[in-house]
Amino acid sequence: MNNNPTVLEIDLSAIEHNLNFFRSKLHKATKVLAVVKASAYGSDPLILSNFLEQQHVDYFAVAYADEGITLRKAGIKTPILVLHPQINNLELLIEYNLEPNLYSKKIFLYFLDLANRLKLTAYPMHLKFNTGLNRLGFKSSDTDFLLEQLKNQDSVYLYSIFSHLVASEDCNEKEYSINQIKEFKSISDSLVSVLGYRPVMHMSNTSGIINYPEAHFDMVRLGLGLFGFTNDPKLNSNLKNVLSLKTVISQIHQVDIGESVGYNRGFISQKEMKTATLPIGHADGFFRSFGQGRASVEVNGQKAPIIGNVCMDMVMIDVSNIQCEEGDQVIIFDSQQDILDLANAASTISYEILTSFTNRIKRISI
């Protein structure tokens, strides 16, 4: 049982609101794939996936097979795309009715051979095409090879073809994104003309949904947007914050002039002051770079800066001017802006803040 007093709250009504906001941007026939990789962006994959299944999303996507297996063992029935499968996990993937993204000739040929050996029939698979990200995917020049291999093949069924926009959030890269979309359309046309059927096409992530409606195609992939973030701060105001991280004050100290606080005497008091110790540290995903006054938390409605160095399990804050007691609640973040402020303090992005918090922190849904 997790008795940790630090809790990450997941607001499911906010998830529903954000999902419906993005659905309002789509044609009614366009499917929604919810990306729940990386513990559902640091929240809880089981809580989130169960709720989204009730909201009738069409697909889930995870990064690796074990993430999908966890969902299947929890009773999730919705189709699950595994974005980065590994060859040694393909049989397990099939056992749990997960669908692989095949991104290279090696894994593609291995999976076809495996499907034939297992005597599968029309097992759904997906092909990813690299149109500029240069991370995973086939090149457009590989289409003839793929079509030749798929010819007279009844063990597998090409459910979808997809690609990934490189800079969908960057308006300065609009020309590059448009060229990506054109290339993907060309690849798709080449495949469809020979296959004799049209696989589902998808290319848009959260920013793509907002900025490139021409790239919605048959399905979109919604990840960060579910949690209230887009590339447009004005648009974020239409979304609701989903995650709130809260803890409590463990102990309050009176610190005299010249005394130090924390490891390596990272903070030296220049005045008489009051500090509070919180049960959260870098082992929980609370970055060491938040220390030395670079970030703050909220105590009884007031900002309290972090002082000294963040410890593995604890952090100290300055509460000299705040009326508080041991056991009082402390809010690490409960808004999109709080999360962005933490990201700025650590010179990173919201994705890293959301996905950094470890399983020591208890997750609850509200």
Which residues are known catalytic residues?
A: 37, 263
Dihedral sign (CA 41, 43, 46, 50) = negative
Q: Which DSSP symbol is given to 274?
A: E
Kindly tell me the sign of the dihedral angle through the C-alpha atoms of 169, 351, 236, 220.
positive
Phi first, then psi: give them for residue 238, nearest 5 degrees: -85, -10
* 201 DSSP β-pair partners: 161
Tokens of 309: 């160095």
Report whether 96 contacts 72 (CB < 8 A): yes
* SS3 label, residue 354: helix
The three-state secondary structure class of 342 is helix
**Residue whose token pair is 């993937």:** 93
How distant is the alpha carbon of residue 208 from its chain centre? 15
Report the relative pairing of strands 329-333 and 243-248 from DSSP bridges. Answer: antiparallel
Q: How many CB atoms lie within 10 A of CB 64?
A: 17
Q: With H, G, I as helix, E, B as strand and everything else as coil, classify residue 239.
A: coil
- Here the tokens at position 350 are 């919201």
- Helix count and strand count (H, E) for the chain: 12, 19
DSSP letters along 19-43, please?
A: HHHHHTTS-TT-EEEEE-HHHHHHS
- Which distant-in-sequence residues (6+ apart) come within 8 Å of 311 by Cβ? 262, 263, 281, 282
How crowded is residue 326: how many other Cβ atoms within 10 Å of its Cβ? 11
C-alpha torsion angle, residues 263, 265, 271, 276 (rounded to 10): 0
Instruction: Work out the number of other CB atoms within 10 angstroms of the CB of residue 347.
Output: 10
